[in-house]
Copies of this chain bind each other. A is one copy, B any other.
Amino acid sequence: MPSYILKLKCPDKPGIVASISQGLLELDSNILRNSEYRDEASQIFTMRCVFEVNIETEEQVSEKLQSRISELGADVTIRNKDTPKKALIMVSKFDHCLLDIFYRIKSGELNLEIAAVVSNHPDLKQVTEQNGFTFKHIPVTADNKEAAEQELRTIIDEHQVEFVTLARYMQILSPSFCSDYSGKIINIHHSFLPGFKGADPYQQAHDRGVKLIGATAHYVTAELDEGPIIAQDVTPVSHLETKTEMATLGRDVERVVLSKAIKAHCEDRIFSLGNRTIVFQ
């Protein structure tokens, strides 16, 4: 029997759970996991419900729950648990996050379909193709930024890309691109934000003499390194590490944090509320 994930977000009021669960019961559906949270400041109610039901397509399930969803004025997605999300991966020259994503797809850990790997440099073409994925080189210069982004948009449209992962992509996307794909671009920043925004965070960390270095996965917004945080982790360092050794240790953190964020996104666990995220376990 197929399993589905229902993601719901709406202004809070009594009866939301009753309505949805009654709707699911009428379909002879069984709830396997369910997480609900009402944010007090915004009075927004969020829900992630995993259920199994003997209905074949997401569309059919959605249709049958439609009147209830409309009544609630809720923002809802319903998705087959097994359907992979379609992603565009963007990189520059560093390969550690990219190879890690490849590995986790092959091992079945990430339910992700890569439409293409896009880079502003040609360096990672070979390793991408060896792993069986499509590589597109879109150089970015001071002059062609707009055209480059237009090319990106075309790829996204053509492949029906659902979200973009910046796996150490070193170019800054335009405000309009960030805004048009709001909540659909995940970046890994190699610091524990809000510390060390911007360029060369390991150098900044070394200069500041911190005793932990970290990484942050967040949705991209127009303001650099300021978008809603999805996942963060750190690892201890001491006076012994050079900047290069910090970067080496940091790679392990970046890989794990980025993949955790991608996994949560693919599994429909994340809601954005203003600049904060709700991430259901």
Nearest CB of B to A127, in Å: 11
Question: Which B residues touch A210, using CB under 8 A?
Answer: 193-194, 229, 232
Query: A167 to B53, alpha carbons, bound, how many Å?
Result: 42
Q: How far does the alpha carbon of A208 sit from the alpha carbon of B208 in the complex, in Å?
A: 22
Q: Tell me the nearest residue of chain B to A35, going by C-beta.
A: B35
Interface size class of chain A, counting residues whose CB lies under 8 Å from the partner chain: 35 or more
**CB contact list, A225-265 vs B, under 8 A:** 228-234, 238-240, 242, 248, 251-252, 255-256
Chain A residues numbered 183-202 whose CB sits less than 8 Å from any CB in chain B:
192-196
Q: How many copies does the complex hold?
A: 4
Q: Looking at chain A's contact residues, is the secondary structure mostly helix, strand, loop, or mixed?
A: mixed
Contacts of A40 in B (CB 8 A): 242
Which of A13-21, A83-91, A139-147 binds B?
A13-21
**Min CB–CB distance A264 → chain B (angstroms):** 11
Q: Is A276 an interface residue (CB 8 A)?
A: yes
Q: Name the contact of A192 in the complex, choosing from B192, B228, B231 (C-beta under 8 A).
A: B192
**Are A212 and B233 in contact, with the CB atoms below 8 A?**
yes
Residue A279 at the chain B interface, CB threshold 8 Å: yes
Residue ranges of A at the interface with B (Cβ–Cβ < 8 Å): 12-18, 21-22, 24-25, 28-40, 96, 99, 103, 107, 109, 130, 192-196, 207-212, 214, 228-234, 238-240, 242, 248, 251-252, 255-256, 273, 275-279, 281
**17 A-B residue contacts at CB 8 Å?**
A15-B25, A17-B17, A18-B24, A22-B22, A33-B38, A34-B34, A37-B239, A96-B107, A107-B251, A192-B195, A192-B212, A194-B210, A207-B276, A208-B229, A212-B214, A212-B234, A252-B255
